């Protein structure tokens, strides 16, 4: 399963988000969505890409620009960002 907000692969049941009533929500990880709401409801796709680019850059040994582009491509395919322009 992949988080539909940040693209993180969710490996463990406890990493899934939950609704306010505690029911597990399979679309998102707990870092993006917690107890029924997004942890950062105002974040834009571009800001999320910047957040992802940091660790991605180190893991893949690529430049920050390349990492941001890769992150944007990843985010474009996720449910949370469908129909958003990325601005
Ligand atoms: Zn997430």
Strand partners, 18: 24
Question: Looking at the structure, do residues 48 and 81 belong to the same domain, yes or no?
Answer: yes
Give the residue-averaged pLDDT of 67-85: 92
Question: Looking at the structure, do residues 28 and 1 belong to the same domain, yes or no?
Answer: yes
**How far is the centre of ligand 1, averaged over its atoms, from the C-alpha of 47 (Å)?**
13
pLDDT tens-place string over residues 15-48: 999 999 999 999 999 999 999 999 999 999 999 9
User: How many structural domains comprise the chain?
Assistant: 2
pLDDT band (50, 70, 90) for residue 83 = confident
pLDDT band (50, 70, 90) for residue 85 = low
Question: Looking at the structure, do residues 73 and 58 belong to the same domain, yes or no?
Answer: yes
* Range(s) of the domain holding residue 23: 1-39
Whether 35 contacts 57, CB under 8 Å = no
Whether 41 contacts 48, CB under 8 Å = no
**How far is the centre of ligand 1, averaged over its atoms, from the C-alpha of 22 (Å)?**
17
**How far is the centre of ligand 1, averaged over its atoms, from the C-alpha of 4 (Å)?**
7
Is pLDDT above 80 for 71? yes
Question: Looking at the structure, do residues 35 and 13 belong to the same domain, yes or no?
Answer: yes
């Amino acid at each position: 399963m992949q988080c539909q907000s940040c693209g993180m692969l969710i490996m463990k049941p406890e990493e899934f988000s939950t609704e306010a009533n505690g029911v597990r929500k399979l679309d998102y990880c707990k870092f993006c969505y917690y107890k029924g709401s997004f942890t950062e409801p105002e974040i834009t796709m571009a800001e999320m890409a910047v957040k992802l680019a940091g660790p991605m850059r180190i893991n893949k040994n690529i430049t920050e620009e390349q990492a941001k582009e890769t992150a944007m491509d990843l985010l474009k395919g996720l449910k949370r960002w469908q129909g958003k322009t990325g601005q």
